[in-house]
Amino acid sequence: MEKETKVLDKKSGTLGAIRIADEVVSIIAGLAATEIDGIAGMSGGLVGGIAEMLGKKNFAKGVKVEVGEKEAAVDLYIIVKYGVRIPDIALAVQENVKQAIETMTGLSVVEVNIHVQGVGFPDEEGKEEEVRVR
């Protein structure tokens, strides 16, 4: 489902439409979530892992959105870094995602649900190694 907003075309004075795809809202949410220090990554399951192995970066990985005409709801599946305080990180992610979506799309974000799917531990090489918790 795409969001449709009516806008006034200044040249002709007629109304037009702007449509924002769900995928666009997902990408905005995923990028805003990973900006927060303490997030090791997003949990996207098997499909996201295959896309990354093939050289494609899936910015909507670990994000589920429901977009209406004026509102959006977001579910984020995150992996946190070991040692961070999860409630603080989750709140920072919620605020950043809400602000990014509302600023860029004009949608009102009614909820940002955080699902902590795992903890990332640094390995010897300094990269994050994912450990899933179910």
CATH code, 106: 3.30.70.1350
Q: Would residue 67 count as lying in a domain?
A: yes
Whether the model pTM is above 0.85? no
Q: Would residue 33 count as lying in a domain?
A: yes
Q: Would residue 12 count as lying in a domain?
A: no
d(CA 65, CA 29): 9
d(CA 132, CA 110): 29
Cα–Cα distance list, 30 to 41, 77, 101, 128 (Å): 9, 10, 10, 18
Per the structure, the complete domain to which residue 128 belongs is given by 21-132
Question: Would you say residue 53 has pLDDT above 50?
Answer: no
CB atoms under 10 Å from CB of 117, counted, come to 20
Number of domains comprising the chain: 1
Q: Would residue 15 count as lying in a domain?
A: no
Q: What is the CB-side half-sphere exposure of residue 37 using CA atoms within 13 A?
A: 1
How large is the average pLDDT for residues 104-125? 90
Q: Would residue 44 count as lying in a domain?
A: yes
The 8-class DSSP code of residue 126 comes to: S
Q: Would residue 83 count as lying in a domain?
A: yes
Q: What is the pLDDT of residue 100?
A: 98
